[in-house]
Amino acid sequence: MSAGGRDRELGMDRDITRRDFLNGVAVALTSALVPPRWLPAADGDAVPPGFYPPALTGMRGSHEGAYEVAHLLRDGAFWKTAGTPAATGERYDLVVVGAGLSGLSAAHAFRKAAGPSARILLLDNHDDFGGHAKRNEFSESGRMLLGYGGSFAIESPAPYSADAQALVKELGVDVARWSSVMDAKLYSSQGLRAGFFFDKETFGADRLLQIPTSTGDSEGADDEAEAKDGWPRFLAASPLPDAARAGLLKLLTGRVDYLPGLDETAKRARLARMSYADFLTGPAGMPREVVAFFQCRPHPLYGVGIDAVPAQDAWGLGLPGFAGMNLSDRPGPGMNYDSIRHKEADDYFFHFPDGNASLARLLVRALVPAAIPGTTADDIVTARADYSRLDEAASPARVRLRSTVVRVAHGAPRGDGREVEVTYSRGGKLETVTGRRVILACWHAVIPYICADLPPDQKEALASAAKVPIVYTNVLLKDWRAFQRLGVHRVHAPGGFHSSFNLDLPVSIGAYRFSRGPDDPIVVHMMRTPCLPGHPARDQHRAGRMQLFATDFATFERNIRDQLARALGGGGFDPARDVRAITVNRWPHGYAYQYNSLFDRFWLEGGPTPCETARRRFGSISFANADAGAYSYADAAIDHGLRAAREALS
Ligand SMILES: Cc1cc2nc3c(=O)[nH]c(=O)nc-3n(C[C@H](O)[C@H](O)[C@H](O)COP(=O)(O)OP(=O)(O)OC[C@H]3O[C@@H](n4cnc5c(N)ncnc54)[C@H](O)[C@@H]3O)c2cc1C
């Protein structure tokens, strides 16, 4: 079939993108003729009437218009043509750079301690607040459907700190309600479980199979009886060659000590220095298809595959091969936070239909009540924010979006310290404001470019916090009949463009209702982690980031349609008919980098961590963001926001 014919079959000619791209803006324009960056807001200060970024579809996350100024700064090209900044004359008690969870938490804590009349300004380069905590909103048949464009849930491998828990509670979120807002049995009661998609490019044939454990959650034998019968059936139905089937069965159900003759300490030292892929092909003697089978398992947490994840971490993550190795149930030195699970952390979980965007919205409502109606953590779910009210002169706290901070510098001593001048670029113009205190809650890798006076060791530490690229795609489907016919609600697809996809979690909060039956529209969440297997983690992240910036929306759309058609075609899925809207949340600068025993010697052998140097207070400037803890969870963002606020208040 010609490329054009396949495109038509996939529905690339359907007008969903154009129609939905304009969804958030009340203007009648043909998107093909208008560069996307014009759509969110015309150049200048004013937010266009009705501008509502959560409903924008197409390429979101790091959207066009959000990153160009920062990239010019990085390339040393910005100041050559920037012109002279205009002083706004605005003075604040606190200026926060970055309106993600960290910056918002910092602003909230500062205001609480300093009083409601404290003047606070938050600046962010995106057209929406929340940073990685991003809301995606769809509408189908008059009904609102929500998705999370980034941060998924209140959860963390380590227990939430008392301060972070107190903030969550203060915002009205009762995590103990989780089991009452989620219908945990909806999919399983209909026979749906996790699936595995073998693709022909990686495994020789396209085939979707149910994963044979009781929950389908893990490749570990969590239900021994089921695993005993289920895995042989699964493997027999798979397109894997005989040697790979035999190897996988041994790995999944056997109890072999693959490092005999070593005591536990020596085993752990070896496992911490060897990738899981090397463990599989080395001591465990597995063929390459077994590596391909597990390659993407750590993607959702590490942003890289098993070639760059230590074998000791794989043990912590519950990957198979360690049952016979006599490892005690305690973490070893050098393990990544993600592979150390604390039992107390398990009960502290809550997911809003838009993920942690609800937390960001609760914080913004507390700071700027006029911008978001309502009073509870239930009504926040369906509340429509008024973006034109975020930055009003009459409000003591203001959120100024589409504003990339390009310079932060101490000025003359004044009162209790040195004031800080903050310069930002908005709508092609440079403006300055002054803050008695400044909190940099933005990505640490940006800071050396905007804060020239920092000491060299701090700049180096900040620059080392290069983020992990990741994509969260939300696809609005007309219904989920194909999933039901195939008996899957979640599919792991290691060879796919997205390495996994799943039906949205059935969560109802306040007036929001989840998709009850297979005939209802639903949001499918897809995850892609661009990386370059075989290279050190940071190099993989750099390559993935470049790849993301170079991939256009049409390429995403074609791959999304193709992947869903191939995996779900057997259930009657028709991408041209069933796909109603697509939002690609591209995060070239995604998770905070977490240290890894394969690549960060200090992490395994001891010594100061770069994030401690990076977050050292500098005059009137403090440093927040999840990067300050090298910990990619919302609680780190909150904890470091609160610490920075305490510094600013002291
Ligand atoms: C896809 C994804 C899924 C995640 N899922 C979870 C989860 O389920 N649970 C969990 O606990 N954590 C999760 N996390 C991590 C967690 O969401 C983050 O740690 C947290 O939201 C980070 O908040 P932050 O404020 O530190 O940073 P950010 O959210 O990144 O906010 C910083 C803001 O600063 C802005 N900024 C940067 N430079 C400038 C500049 N020069 N001028 C102005 N603004 C600037 C950025 O654009 C951004 O908007 C996830 C992260 C990602 C990316």
Kindly state the average pLDDT of the residues 307-322: 97
Question: Is the Cβ atom of 634 under 6 angstroms away from ligand 1?
Answer: yes
Taking residue 499's Cβ as centre, other Cβ atoms within 10 Å add up to 22
- For residue 587, the ligand 1 atom closest to its alpha carbon is 53
CA gap 97, 103 in Å, rounded: 7
Measure Cα distances from 158 to 154, 342, 360, 629, 636 in Å.
12, 6, 21, 13, 10
Whether 599 shows a pLDDT value over 50: the answer reads yes
Question: Is the Cβ atom of 632 under 6 angstroms away from ligand 1?
Answer: yes
Whether 448 shows a pLDDT value over 80: the answer reads yes
Residue 549 Cα, ligand 1 centroid: separation in angstroms?
A: 18
Kindly state the average pLDDT of the residues 558-566: 98
User: Going by CA atoms, what residue is nearest to atom 29 of ligand 1?
Assistant: 131
- Smallest CA-to-CA distance from 610 within 622, 592, 589 is with 592
Q: 208 pairs with which residues across the strands?
A: 197
Q: 399 pairs with which residues across the strands?
A: 122
Task: Average the pLDDT over each of 11-20, 64-73, 321-330, 386-395 and give the range with the smallest value.
Answer: 11-20
Q: How confident is the model at residue 225 (pLDDT cuts 50, 70, 90)?
A: low
pLDDT at residue number 345: 79
Token match 């079939």: residue?
Answer: 1
Q: How confident is the model at residue 342 (pLDDT cuts 50, 70, 90)?
A: confident
Kindly state the average pLDDT of the residues 243-263: 96
User: Going by CA atoms, what residue is nearest to atom 37 of ligand 1?
Assistant: 442
To the nearest 10 degrees (0 to 180), the angle between helices 224-237 and 242-253 is 170
Whether 341 shows a pLDDT value over 90: the answer reads no
Residue 591 Cα, ligand 1 centroid: separation in angstroms?
A: 7
How does pLDDT run across 97-121, given as a tens digit for each residue?
999 999 999 999 999 999 999 999 9
CA gap 243, 278 in Å, rounded: 18
Max distance between CA atoms of the chain, in angstroms, equals: 76
Whether 19 shows a pLDDT value over 50: the answer reads no
pLDDT at residue number 227: 62
Best residue among 632, 638, 642 to mutate for probing ligand 1, ranked by most atoms within 8 Å of CB: 632
pLDDT at residue number 223: 54
Whether 41 shows a pLDDT value over 90: the answer reads no
- Smallest CA-to-CA distance from 639 within 628, 445, 650 is with 628
Task: Average the pLDDT over each of 34-48, 51-65, 377-391 and give the range with the smallest value.
Answer: 34-48
Question: In the sheet where 500-503 sits, what is the strand order?
Answer: 58-61, 579-591, 468-477, 522-528, 500-503, 488-492, 193-198, 207-210
Best residue among 104, 442, 462 to mutate for probing ligand 1, ranked by most atoms within 8 Å of CB: 442
pLDDT at residue number 617: 98
CA gap 77, 89 in Å, rounded: 27
Please answer whether residues 120 and 110 qualify as being in contact, where contact means their C-beta atoms are separated by less than 8 angstroms: yes
Residue 142 Cα, ligand 1 centroid: separation in angstroms?
A: 31
How does pLDDT run across 351-364, given as a tens digit for each residue?
999 999 999 999 99
Q: What are phi and psi of 160, to 5 degrees?
A: -60, 140
pLDDT at residue number 179: 96
Amino acid identity of 470?
I
User: Going by CA atoms, what residue is nearest to atom 39 of ligand 1?
Assistant: 442
Question: Is the Cβ atom of 648 under 6 angstroms away from ligand 1?
Answer: no
- Smallest CA-to-CA distance from 67 within 57, 52, 78, 82 is with 78
Q: What percent of the chain has pLDDT over 90?
A: 86
How does pLDDT run across 482-519, given as a tens digit for each residue?
999 999 999 999 999 999 999 999 999 999 999 999 99
pLDDT at residue number 416: 65
Whether 191 shows a pLDDT value over 80: the answer reads yes
Residue 472 Cα, ligand 1 centroid: separation in angstroms?
A: 13
- Smallest CA-to-CA distance from 93 within 79, 106, 78 is with 106
Question: Is the Cβ atom of 102 under 6 angstroms away from ligand 1?
Answer: yes
- For residue 104, the ligand 1 atom closest to its alpha carbon is 25
Q: How confident is the model at residue 13 (pLDDT cuts 50, 70, 90)?
A: confident
Question: Is the Cβ atom of 72 under 6 angstroms away from ligand 1?
Answer: no
Token match 């911490």: residue?
Answer: 272
Kindly state the average pLDDT of the residues 603-611: 94
Question: Is the Cβ atom of 591 under 6 angstroms away from ligand 1?
Answer: yes
First-to-last CA distance in the chain?
68
Question: Is the Cβ atom of 123 under 6 angstroms away from ligand 1?
Answer: yes
- With a threshold of 0.75, does the pTM exceed it? yes
pLDDT at residue number 45: 66
Question: Is the Cβ atom of 404 under 6 angstroms away from ligand 1?
Answer: yes
- For residue 102, the ligand 1 atom closest to its alpha carbon is 25
Kindly state the average pLDDT of the residues 520-535: 97
Question: Is the Cβ atom of 587 under 6 angstroms away from ligand 1?
Answer: yes
- For residue 103, the ligand 1 atom closest to its alpha carbon is 25
Listed in sequence order, the DSSP H helices in 171-241 are 178-181, 200-203, 224-237
pLDDT at residue number 47: 83
Q: How confident is the model at residue 9 (pLDDT cuts 50, 70, 90)?
A: confident
How does pLDDT run across 139-183, given as a tens digit for each residue?
998 999 999 999 999 999 999 999 999 999 999 999 999 999 999
Residue 442 Cα, ligand 1 centroid: separation in angstroms?
A: 8
Residue 638 Cα, ligand 1 centroid: separation in angstroms?
A: 11
Kindly state the average pLDDT of the residues 342-370: 94
Residue 395 Cα, ligand 1 centroid: separation in angstroms?
A: 25
Question: Is the Cβ atom of 73 under 6 angstroms away from ligand 1?
Answer: no
Residue 283 Cα, ligand 1 centroid: separation in angstroms?
A: 39
Q: Residue 1: helix, strand or coil by DSSP?
A: coil
pLDDT at residue number 46: 74
Whether 123 shows a pLDDT value over 90: the answer reads yes
CB hemisphere CA count around 142 (13 angstroms) = 0
Residue 536 Cα, ligand 1 centroid: separation in angstroms?
A: 23
Kindly state the average pLDDT of the residues 424-442: 97
Computed over every residue of the chain, the mean pLDDT equals 92
User: Going by CA atoms, what residue is nearest to atom 33 of ligand 1?
Assistant: 98
